[in-house]
Amino acid sequence: MGATAIPEPVRRGRPRSERAHRAILRAAAELLAERGLRGMSAGDIAARAKVSKATIYRWWDSKEAVALDAFLAELSGEEAPVPDTGSLAGDLKASLRTRIRLLARRPVIGRTQAALVAETQTDPRLREAYLAHVMRPLRQQGRDMFAKAVDRGEVPADTEVDLALDLIYGALYHRLFQGHAPLDDHFAVAAVDLIVRGLRRP
């Protein structure tokens, strides 16, 4: 199954069995976490989910689409509202803490995300779908936090918000993917304090 249909996750046809649908997504998430995208096939997913390959193709066009849907299914129900603590530092710390606690509680999410991100480096269609469904919504939440901070006069109106978000979320995912240092409350507090101090003008 090639990367030929990844502008976004695609389901084809009308599901005949919600149980089979859930089993496919669960199997895909497990295999993605265990082997990475290149180490799994439609046949592997079908075998673990105890369905036929034809069932998978009925709902998805490619294993990449199945994998992304599987990751999104793992995130389903875990969405948190944009923090509104009254300060930029408080909002950013709350955002990081929410993600850190989720990753600690459900480590399969971090493993599947790492596998997807690795594959996006060589698959532009998957990269675009991942950005559209995962990173752009996250970054929009960050922009909303910064917009409120500008309105409160905490940071200048000409703050390079996208660069600041790169530093904040980049630090989070660097630790997640490299595993060289813990993702914990100390990290959330120290990273945000360091970045917010740098945003304030003397």
Q: Residue 7 pLDDT > 80, yes or no?
A: no
- Across residues 82-108, what is the average pLDDT? 96
CA 82 – CA 153 distance, rounded (Å): 19
Q: Residue 10 pLDDT > 60, yes or no?
A: no
Q: Which residues contact 2 (CB under 8 A, 6 or more apart)?
A: 62
Give the pLDDT score at 2. 40
Give the pLDDT score at 42. 94
The CA distances from residue 42 to 20, 25, 56, 162, in Å, are 14, 12, 7, 37
All domains of the chain, ordered by start, with CATH?
18-74 (1.10.10.60), 79-199 (1.10.357.10)
Question: Which residue's structure tokens are 């799994």?
Answer: 40
Q: For 31-40, how does the pLDDT look when each residue is reduced to its tens digit (9 = 90+)?
A: 999 999 999 9
pTM comes to 0.84
- Across residues 9-29, what is the average pLDDT? 77
Question: Which residue's structure tokens are 């922009």?
Answer: 143
